Structure formats: C-alpha cells, structure tokens
Structure 1
Amino acid sequence: MADTTTTGTPAPRRISLIERSPAIARRKRKDLILQGFGLVAIFIAFAVMFLLFSSLIRTGHTAFVQTHVTLDVYVDPSEIQVENLPRGNFQDVVTNALIAKLPSADEASERRAVRNIISNGAQFYLRDRVVADPSLIGQTISIKVPVSDAYDQLHKGAISRDTPEARRRVDDQGVAWLDELIADGAISKPLNFSLITNADSRFPELAGLRGALVGSFWALLTCFVIAFPTGIGAAIYLEEFAPKNKVSDFIEVNINNLAAVPSVVFGLLALAVFLNYLGMPRSAPFVGGLTLALMTMPTIIIATRAALKAVPPSIREAALGVGASKQQVVFQHVLPLAMPGILTGTIIGLAQALGETAPLLLIGMNAFITSAASTPFEAATALPTQIFIWADSPERGFVSRTSAAILVLLTFLIFMNGIAIYLRSKFERRW
C-alpha cells in the first residue's frame, strides 16, 4: 500500500541525485561513452589479430605438409658402385623407378617429361640411404621422395585443374600422370618435417628453416651474453651508485633516446663500425648479435632501473640499519627482489630483437646459405631475413612457406612473451 499522509493524499516522489543534477547525468553518459569506445577499440584489435592469423594460417598451412611419391627403386650396380660413393647416377635410378610406375609414358619425350614430376632433391634421399648402407646396392628398396613444386601445388589445390592448359604450370599429360599415381596409391601427403630440418634451397619443395633457426639462435645468444650483464651493470650503477648530477641526467636522457632510435640506424652503425672499420665477417650471426645487443641494451637498462626503483626504500634502510654495506644492500637484498622484473624486461627485449629485420639486412644476413652455421662466426641467415628472402621470391611455392615461416616466428615470440608473463606473475612481489 502506498504511503499516504494523514489526509489520505499520496506522499511526494523522492527525486534522485542524478535527476536533480544534470551535470552528474552528463558525466555518467560520458563515462558510458568512454567505456563504449574502449570496448570498440578492443574489438577492433582482436578483429585485426584474427584477420592476421587467419590469413597466415590459410596461406601457410599447406607448407606444413609435403606431397611425396613412394617408389620401388632398384639400386642398379651399373649406375651406383660402392667404390664411387657418394657419387653415382642416383637421379636416373630414381627416374627409372618412376617411369616403371607410369607405363603410359612409353615415348622418349614422355620419359624425359616424367623426370619433372619428382623433385631435383629426390636423388639425395636415395644417396643418403645407400651411403648409410652400401649393401642396398643390387636390391630393390621402397623409398618416399618429394615431388616437384608444380606437382605439389597441383595436388594441394593451389593450381586449379580448371585453368586452361596454356596458363597452367602442369600440362594435361602431367595431370593425368599425377592422377595415375594417386590411383596407384603412390601419392601421400605427410607432415613436412623438412620445413624445420632442411636449410634454404632454390627449390621450394626442399627449402627449410634450419639455417635461419640456427642463425637466430647464435645471434640471440650473442645478444644475451653481451647485453644482459652490461645492461644490468649500467642500470645498477646509474640507479644505486652514480651521483645525481648533470652528467648522470645527460646519460639517462640519451639512454631513453637510444631506446626510441629506429633499428635501421643500428644496422648502419654496425655496417660502418663492425664491418668496414673493424673488418668483422659479413653475414655472421656474431656481428648480428652485436648489433642486436646495441639495440636491446637501452631496453634492458630502462627495465632494470624500473625494477630497482620498485623495491621499497625500507628494504635498503633495514639492511643498512643492521650494518650492511652499500654493495651488500644492492647485491644481496635489492637485486634479488628486482630480478623478476629484470628478467621480464630482458626477455621482452630479446623477443623484440628476434623479430628485427632491417639491421640484419644491412650487415648481409640475407645471403643464400644452404647449410646451418656451426659457429657464430660463419655466414648465416635469421628467421626475419629468411622470411624477407622467401617473400621476394617469384616461385609460387615460397608463398606458403613465407606464411609458414611467419607462423614459426610468431610462435617463438608468443613463447618468449609467455615466459615473461609467467616469471612476472610467479615471482613478482607486491608491496
């Protein structure tokens, strides 16, 4: 029952504060609008990320599988002799096995065209098996070898069968031969482990990332060994020991400026100093690591100083109060408490260095290298430069491999950032 006065009339309705104050109502509307803009911004960011990853996956997923043909190869002793290994006419031996699978290829011109079905590297698959076990000479063995890029693209659907023959890389006879091999059960599409285990090649079906992965490893290792202790040492001195004067202020301003310098400038510096003046080896991961260390060091210094500042002054005062020296306070109390933040900043800096391309291009780490570097002083490529090389190639097979290489690089970046987040959440202390 509604409240009534003693005369029986309804009580007056209470007016809320918002209704009484138009300014408060406007403020609330602005807050809602701001929240809406924030949600829209988050939605746009996730939409762009979804488009990016979906495009890369759609283009690059085919590179993670490779079309192979299974052949029964007779290791002809007249073509391959034990005393000549690893030399031998392995290409003709593999081609003869493929021709035996295609009885319709009975003319000489067709037999020559059959050779184009298998990859130019198929002979090395047979060579490696025979060299590992010379007793296979004179026997018939089953071997699985990759097909050439054109037939690989045709089997994966990247080359449409409906395209007119004049505009198709594989003619109608080649399509018929592929269908014949498929009907015979000789064609398979296993996971393409060679994308990781092989080095670069001019043939897309043989090209891999092993050389780039090893080159990136040596470059990042060099970067870490140089930038981590140097950056931490500089940050500790500037934050804990350096007198606060104009000189330290000048150094701090320049460190902050260096963190914002474009990476191509560090590449030009490395080209002028490390290569031209000091004569260091071109395309070497060691030089790349030095360049990345110069670029990463300001980030590590800034992150380390921020972590040191986050340690409460009471820790320092308590240690000094029980008789600890300044050095003992820093290295036995402050530094261990700041280490989670230091490691987080270091990992993020290394992740940034892993994705840098411009400085590595300027020191020549985009050369065509067909083997992985065994030391940081040998010529090598890196993941970003390998992506650049493949993206610039006119071969269609490198399109999917470029996207696959980007996915591999993003996987490493996500992994490194995940480690940074884990370390921060596990060891971070709130004061």
Structure 2
Amino acid sequence: MSDDGKGTTPGTTDPERGLPPEQLPAVSGPLTGTATGEVPPPPRQNVVIKEMLRSNWVTTILAIVVAMVVGGILMALTNEDVRAASVYFFARPGDTVVAVWNAVYGGYEALFRGAIFNPRAADFFAQIRPLTNTLGFAAPLIAAGLGVALAFRVGLFNIGGRGQMLIGAAVAGLLTFNLDLPMFLQLPLTLAAGIAGGAIWGGIVGVLKARTGAHEVILTIMLNYVAFYLVAWMVRTPGLLQRDAEDQPISNPTPPSAQFPTLFGDRFPLLDWGFVLVIGVTVFVWWLVERSSLGFRLRAVGENPHAARAAGISVQRMYIYAMLFAGGLAGLAAMNQIQGSVTTGFDGYIDAGIGFDAITVALLGRSRAWGVFAAGILFGALKAGSFTMQASQGIPVDIVLVVQSLIVLFIAAPPLIRTIFFLPKTDAEKAAKARAKAAKKAVNA
C-alpha cells in the first residue's frame, strides 16, 4: 500500500489524530535538542554574564557614567567658548565640536589632576598629593556614611548626621580642649569624647523611637536644628566654647596633642591617621552587620520588624543600638574634622555638609560597609577635583554637586539604567510586569 503523504496508510486510521495537545507524545528530532523534547539549559557563561549585568555593581557604575555624561553636557553648555562658537554653528560646525571637546575634556582632565594624579607637578610627591587629598576628604564622608547605612539596614532613615557631628565636636571641645595631657592620652580621650557625644545624640532618637513610636525622620530633623543653635550659642558664650579672650563666635583651636599625626609627613597634610582609623571602623561595621549575632538581629528587624518580634528579638532595643552606633560613627566623622583637617577652631558649620552628603554616600554604597567605603572615596575625589576644575578651567563647583545629585538619581532608578543600556531585567521586575499585565487583562475582561 502506498502512503497518502499525510503519514498514514490508506485504509488505516491515525490513533493520535484528534487527541488534545497534552496527550500527544513528546516531539523528538535534531531541532528539539534532545530526544525527550526537553529544552536544554543555557550555557553556563550566558547565565554568568546575565547575572553580572543584573548586579548592583554594574548598575552603579553605569549610573556614574550617565551622570558624568550629563555633567559633561552641562560643562559644555556653561562654557563661554562653546556658546561663542555655537552662534555660527551652521557656517563652521567644526568649531563648535572642538570647543565642546575642549570644555569637556579640560574639565574632567582637571578633575583627574585634582583628585588622582597631577602629571604637571614638579616631583613625584607633588604628583600624588591629589590622591592623598581625596583620601583625606573621603575619611569623614565614609564615617558618617557608615552611620547612615547601618541605620538603613535596621529600617531607620537617619538624616541626623549633622546634629550628631555637631554635638560630637561640642562634647569633645568642652571636655578635652582645656586639658594639658600628653598625646597618648589627649588624642584618644578627645576621640572617645567626640564619638560618645555623637552616640548620645543619636541614642536620643533611638530611645524616643523605641519608647514612643515617634518617627525618626522628624526626630533627626528637629535635633539637627537643636544641635546647630546649641553649638552656635556655645561658641558665642565665654566659658563654654568661645575662644579665650576673643569676641569671635568660634572655639579654641584643637590642641596639638589631640590632632591626628599626618600619615606620610607634611608633604601630604590632608592624609592623617584618621583615615587609617576609618578603614578599621569599616572593617568593624562590616563584621558587626554581616557576621555578628547582633548584626543578624539588626538585619532581621530591618527586613521585617513584625517577624523579628515574633522570633523573640527586641525590636525596641535594636532601634536604640542602631542609633547609638549611627551617632557614634557621625561623631567619628566630626573628629576627623576637628582632629584632622579643621584644627583652627570650629563653629556651627563644622559639619561642612558632610551630615547630608553621608545620605548620598550610603545610598550609592547600597548600605553595605565596603560599598560605602568606595562611595566615600568617589565623593572625596569629586570634592578634591572640583577645586582644580574651578581654578584651571573656570568650571563652577556646583557642576560637581549636580553630578553627585545625578548619580543618586540614577542609582535610585535601576530600571531606568537598564532601559538606557538594554540590560536584562531582574526577576522582581519581570514579576512586577507580569502582575501589571495580568491586572490589565482582568480590568479589560
């Protein structure tokens, strides 16, 4: 008998014809990959690349790249040569392109010279001085950022770094500046007093949060104002913090025996032993949060306070511990100021915006200890390089602040970065998209 061209012999019936798809036998063949019809798993390297592209580190780096691109556009728009060349753009477009390149390249080259390495300097020590300045600027940012990040991990939004720094500096000035002790006693005593002052100011927020349920954002904002006006009053009051025999609203200079020694001598004045201390504190915070039993309880409260309470963890106590640590770290940042870079006396502006910049550093570092450390160095580099940008290229320091803000903006919007660079979506984003599509179908039905 001959075949009819449909896979059956005339006079016979196909036993599989008319069966539902789920009852049909598995398809096999060279195009299916396996004899059983199973789809083979993707190659291992594809999975690794996909997970790497989904990682927070890639998103963070790309966010910095996008922010730098936007910063370059702003440099070009504010450059006088670019604006002058753009007037006759259609007649000679090359002049505008060259002016834009010179503005952007000159700005970021000046940023590099001021933050990392200056090849124009006379000797090697002067060439690497910008890097030491970056590390010096980064030290208080890292310390304060660690305090904000630790509070974030416990579910607390600590924006009181400024007040905690001010009180830390005030306590250290009140208790130790008038002591005449040798360095091996004066320096650690001043450091401990500043850390304790910041911890007490942060602990007030933790106690109020734990006992009354008051929101930590409101508490820290109000305590920032209290700390600022309290320190402003103390530096204007003789017998408290006001400099002896003067009417200026400023404290006495930091005693030489309380100042951090420079790490590599007077050639690098901004890099002192405070940076080494910050490295040690970063290691301690990493161990505390990621490896210790107390850190496990802190993280459990941050993930779900109700589940943590059901597991027998004292949520109120964790709130107090978290704010004590956060305040103490902000106090350490204040000590990096008055024992390191600002030793001629301080007033209510000793925080220099570090208390608020610490929030940005913590966000950029994803609230992880070493992420905060890297973010602090990046922001220290931007701060150190901004002065060279302004001095040599006439670029406003505000451009650097815009770049910092854009970094945080893009960090806070990972889907935007993935869309710009066509990165694979995370499982959470896919699930959210699927839920939105299902809800839309349900509404339309």
TM-score, with length taken from structure 2:
0.25
Does 1 or 2 have the higher relative contact order (CA < 8 Å, sep 6+)?
2
